A and B are shown apart, each in its own frame.
Chain A
Amino acid sequence: MSTSVVQSVTCPICGSFCDDLELTIEDGRITKVKNACAMGEAKFLYAPDLKHRWLKPMIRKDEELVEASLEEAVKKAAEVLAEASYPILYGWSSTCCEAIRVGIELAEEVGGVIDNTATVCHGPSLQAVQDVGLPICTLGQVRHRADVIVYWACNPWEAHPRHIERYTYFPDGRFQSSMWRRYLTRWGMLAQRKRILRALSTHPYIKAILPPLARYELSPELFVKGRKLIVIDVRRTRVAEAADYFIQVKPGEDYELLQALRALVRGIELEVDEVAGVPVKLLEEVVDVMISCDFGVIFFGLGLTMSRGKVRNVDLAIKLTEDLNDRSKWLIAPMRGHFNVTGANAVFTWQTGYPFAVDFSRGYPYYNPGETSVVDILLRGDSDAALVVASDPVAHFPKKAVEHLVKNPLVVIDPSKSATSLMADVVIPSAFVGIEAEGTAYRMDFVPLPLKKVVEPPAGLLSDEEILRMILHEVRKIKGVA
């Protein structure tokens, strides 16, 4: 039995893209994962399991997916794409940059629309950046310097489990120290308080007069010094429990809250007492903290980009950050989801000038989200074929969009048996990038890191990049340019 340990492995799960994992490989199988969060550990241990994947290319014949040779599947995929008038090529955020580069070349060759998953998550953020810019930094800068950290409409505790521990509130930096100990003390006291309150609140009268469980009623020493964590969300999440300030915003009113904060930062008095369900008094207190810090950062999530206001929520959050720079150093960063959605945006941008939703139908890159974004294309029924790479739109897109997607020829390249692949006409299974194939991916702060190959893929499975190259080659043959 052969056992080896691989160090500094990057984790192909979320945008935090931790690169300090340590894997134990026994007989070509990953048996132990160190340093990863539960999601990362599960992916390394269970994703390569043969039960959840296609092991042979499949082609739909008479309504049934049947096994086919790789050459056959590639040829069929190439025909579908080469013949289409308006094909879409979607996915890309869970594969490596090398594959994306080929994907864009393919999209250009077939005159299609290429789009990545940002279109349904941080697309609005990217559009906001195009309107007003983005003061951002790498995560290490936050670790070393930030003394105020804002999480707005995101829940890193669950979506990016090591974000707080590695980059923001809990790590030690050159100029800031860890808040771990304070968090534990506070957590203990809070638990105690909760127990007492719960006991008291069984009495209806006491319950009526008890104030809400507000953080600043605890001992002030626990809040004065060191880093401060501010959480703004529609619900009290786990990270909100850890915060020094929690602002519960009414659903869909983030824009109003942002504007109120911006007004206060600029010294404009508000005429209302309450904005988005939050007392202006509390906002004033929070703004005081924000303008008197040395280095602040806002991390925002899908709660901002996908709720009412979308682009403009982010637009305003960025303007707020820009204004805060008159008073102190402030930066803002999106909490990107997939481990390489940032890389997808990067590759798209350097090859085509635009981060997502790029239309090659006229032989050059054209970009206009709302017009060239895949969900809108599907909802209008414009497209007549699709290639999906490393993504599962059938599980995530609106029903009407999915209907149109599966009505037309659909080619899927994916390492796992996704809902989309079950509906496809051609399925080409691939190796898991970052486990069975190497490549490059970008952390949410645009730091590029290598994806490692730690085990061999099942026999016959190629990487996304290799498969795409074969399709591209075949398309060129059909078009007579190879």
Chain B
Amino acid sequence: MAPATQWEVAQPPHDAVSSLVFVPDSHKLLVSSWDKNVYLYNVGPNGAEEASLIKSYEFRAPILDACFGADEHEAFTAGLDEQVKRVDLTTGEQTLMSKHTAPVRCVVYSPEHSLLISASWDCTLHVHNMATGLASSPLPLTIKLPGKPHAMAASPSKLVVAMTARLVHIYDLPTIAKAITTKEPVVQPWQQRESSLKFLTRAVACMPNDAGYATSSIEGRVAVEWFEDTEKSQARKYAFKCHRLPAPEEEGGDIVYPVNALAFHPKYGTFASGGGDSTVALWDAEAKRRMRQLTKFPDSVAALAFSKDGKYLAIGVCPGFETGMEDYSGEGRTKVFIRELGENEARGKGAK
């Protein structure tokens, strides 16, 4: 069994990391940043412990999220300038996909349904059907949301949108795809839920087996839930505390950090959480066990991503934004780590 190793990406972004995403079929990592750039890195091509910058793409505003499209040459970005853009990663050509009326917080691409979905603080989702080609769908399908979206994730058949006021909407992707072709004006959510967590939702990640999802909040807590709306299935959901540190003796209590990032392992159904306490923990969702806590990182963990084969875990590290901050800069303190996981490091031990 290969030992777990970890290394840092050369030439990291100049400011806070907003998202990390691996190219579906190769070991390339796309990093979006508040420094108005999106970076493409080559991660350990042949197991070499290095990650070199292949290319960076400059935008006119900070990028809050990025995702890959149909292949490894296509990426989509969500910008603070209210725009969703398509980037050809080979040529660097940028195409405007959608224009919101507020900054775009999240963007996801569902390869199963060829749908591009963006969520913006103007409380709407824009959905493009990428299968019909760019030219044929100039106007996106707009879905109104009851609150500002803060996190979004897609599983093979579902889309989970977490909003303010602890609202969680789950959309059925085939329904959305059908609505686009039939030009239905309104798409109802498949399920409307209230977050199991009492505080503002920070991150959402879907299980790769399409069974459920995990959410995390600013109050050091993670909840795991299942899509299936049966009593038995709902009874399985649970939440737990994490990413907390004991406060100094004189204060007492705990310092509670936000859980900024969640990512499911594509094969084992285990998941990783990254928090403001600068740690990453690996959890076994089935056995309800923590499998591992990675050694502390130099700063708050902002983003996490597993490579599609589950071999690598990318960890975006930058100072966390905390209550009472007047100013913020991730300059010089932003780093991206790549961890090559040991063969069984992320494998659950199964419910014992």
Q: Do A and B come from one complex?
A: no
Chain B residues within CB distance 8 Å of chain A = none
Chain A residues within CB distance 8 Å of chain B = none
